[in-house]
Amino acid sequence: MKLPALTTVAFGAAVALIFFYAPTDADQGFSQRIFYFHVPIALTSYVCFGWGAWKALRYLRTRDERADLESYVAVHQGVVFGALTLVTGSIWARASWGVWWSWSENQLVLFLVLFLFYCAYFMLRYSVDAGPARMNMSAVYALFGVVLIPVSFLAIRLSQRFIHPVVFDSHAPSNMTGAQWLSFLVSLAAMLLLFATLYNVELAGKRIDAHLRELRELLGRRLDGGPQRAQAPALPAPERGPS
């Protein structure tokens, strides 16, 4: 089964479990169901940033430009899922506790720091001309950012107040019934599949764009050279980073 079809099936199963199988929380009521979206989205954003850091390390080791592009796309997807994490978290907090945001909650602030750190990745990347220097700086930045992931994740467990229940502990799912746990796992699988699908689609689009840009440049050089230079060997296209 192709990845987009599998993603669609997983999302359909997740929605069915969330709204028709998982029990309604006794304290928060219906609004607690956003938990099954919010937490999987947050965990998926961690996976995106981690994958981007791994590809950045691979680029630094091999100097393979494909790894640089893959790191860029993963970080971009991580920022998208990070924005959704902040939005769904704020909606959940407003519905359940009457506030959109609480600066006293360490886990919220640390996730915001992580999100802004990776937003700055794009400002750094596009402040440098395309080429090896841009790729090196982007890779180092993405690699250092991965340190914030465990800090942000552990902040949820170390906080004195819990905005949402701790999902994982050393024994079994904490504060969750079997139906809730199953719904959560299916939702997490659906989000990870969504990331994989979007990652592949964006990566394919970036590669096609790069090939078209190289063809335009090659055609432009041939046209500028005129008929007498049309038979001359084409110069290699200048090295450019992903747009």
For tokens 């997740």, the residue is: 14
152 or 3: which leads in pLDDT: 3
- The answer to whether residue 153 sits within a structural domain is yes
232 or 109: which leads in pLDDT: 109
Alpha-carbon distances, residue 183 vs 122, 134, 187 (angstroms): 35, 42, 6
> pLDDT tens for residues 109-133?
888 989 999 999 999 999 988 889 9
How much is the CA Rg of the chain, to the nearest whole Å?
22
The pLDDT, as a whole number, for residue 63 is 92
DSSP label of 156:
H
Confidence of residue 229 (pLDDT cuts 50, 70, 90): very low
- The answer to whether residue 147 sits within a structural domain is yes
The pLDDT, as a whole number, for residue 209 is 86
For tokens 């450019």, the residue is: 240
**CA 149 – CA 154 distance, rounded (Å):** 9
Q: How many CB atoms lie within 10 A of CB 205?
A: 11
Q: How many CB atoms lie within 10 A of CB 164?
A: 19
- The answer to whether residue 187 sits within a structural domain is yes
- How many residues can be counted in the chain? 243
- The answer to whether residue 235 sits within a structural domain is no
Average pLDDT, stretch 149-161? 65
Tokens of 104: 């006293």
Most confident range (mean pLDDT) of 129-133, 166-170, 200-204 is: 200-204
- The answer to whether residue 228 sits within a structural domain is no
The residues, any chain, with a CB within 8 Å of residue 45's CB and separated by 6 or more, are: 78, 81, 82, 84, 85
> pLDDT tens for residues 47-84?
999 999 999 999 999 999 999 999 999 999 999 999 99
- The answer to whether residue 220 sits within a structural domain is no
The residues, any chain, with a CB within 8 Å of residue 162's CB and separated by 6 or more, are: 156
**CA 7 – CA 18 distance, rounded (Å):** 16
Please report the sign of the dihedral spanned by the C-alpha atoms of residue 22, residue 28, residue 29, residue 32.
negative
Pick the range with the lowest mean pLDDT from 85-89, 126-130, 137-141, 172-176. 172-176
Closest by alpha carbon to 69, among 235, 229, 210? 210
- The answer to whether residue 203 sits within a structural domain is yes
Is the model's pLDDT at 25 over the cut of 90?
no
- The answer to whether residue 241 sits within a structural domain is no
The residues, any chain, with a CB within 8 Å of residue 86's CB and separated by 6 or more, are: 111, 112, 115
171 or 6: which leads in pLDDT: 6
Per the structure, the complete domain to which residue 142 belongs is given by: 3-209
Helix (H) or strand (E) holding 172: none
> How many domains does the chain fold into?
1
